[in-house]
Amino acid sequence: MSAVGVVAAAGSGSRLGADRPKALVELAGRPLVAWAVETLLAGGVDEVVVTVPAAERAGFAAALPGRVRLVEGGATRTASVRAGLAAAGPGADVVLVHDAARPLTPPDVVARVLAALAAGAPAVVPVLPVVDTTVVVDDGGLVTDAVPRARLRRVQTPQGFHRATLVAAYAGLAEGVELTDDAAVVRAAGVPVATVEGDERAAKVTVPHDLHLAGLLVAR
């Protein structure tokens, strides 16, 4: 089973307050995108395509090994993954879509996703339980409901798919529809999505506090 990784790295990083794309922000001296690519390769992915902001190609080329292919991303994550998938070509059996913003994802998570795909799942996501009480609020901030959390899960990346399944799901997604992850795209096409155990270290770096925590983890 051959696997291609598509790393979504074309975001701006505005919530991180960075002066460059988030994927080029450094963690322990290495850009976030370099950590994410290394995780995929160490976990068993054969080749990697990275979607980058058009104006930043040179910075990404300098940050990544030569075997990694760079393609121009889009204005939204959905558009970026579409571009990465098109560039990934028909050679691979499975595709793993990963966020550059999850630099400390252990390779074990990649291996679990690949194993579930090899066992026949058409789509698989790493998940973690929700540990906090989770509520619904109204426009005024008042709690209107509490959601039973036993069946709730937080969804991480890399998310894995049989390539043809993901390509067909994106082809069937109307232009302009934006979904926050790729499992939502295949679910919209009626494909069942399996789960494997995620990892707290695969947390997404969004705000400065997340980067600070990631730095502490690396130092440890």
- Contact positions toward ligand C5P, by CB under 6 A? 8-11, 22-23, 51, 73-77, 80, 99-101, 204, 206
Residue 10 CB, shortest distance to ligand C5P, in Å, is 3
Distances in Å between the Cα of 203 and the Cα atoms of 74, 83, 95, 156, 216 are 23, 24, 21, 7, 13
Q: Is 124:116 a contact under the CB 8 Å cutoff?
A: yes
Nearer to ligand C5P, 76 or 165 (CB): 76
Closer to ligand C5P by Cβ: residue 105 or 121: 105
Q: State the nearest-atom distance from the C-beta of 150 to ligand C5P, in Å.
A: 26
Q: Residue 38, Cα to own-chain centre: how many angstroms?
A: 14
**Dihedral sign, Cα of residue 11, residue 14, residue 20, residue 25:** negative
When the beta carbons of 122 and 156 are compared against ligand C5P, the nearer one is 156
Q: Decide whether 133 or 212 has the Cβ nearer to ligand C5P.
A: 212
Nearest approach in angstroms of CB 118 to ligand C5P is 26
DSSP 31-86: EHHHHHHHHHHHHT-SEEEEEE-GGGHHHHHHHS-TTSEEEE--SSHHHHHHHHHH
Among 27, 72, 32, CA closest to 49: 72
The residue number with the shortest CB distance to ligand C5P is 11
Least Å distance, CB 48 to ligand C5P, is: 14
Q: Smallest distance from the beta carbon of 165 to ligand C5P, in angstroms?
A: 21
Of 10 and 124, which has the nearer Cβ to ligand C5P? 10
C-beta of residue 95 within 8 angstroms of C-beta of residue 87 = no
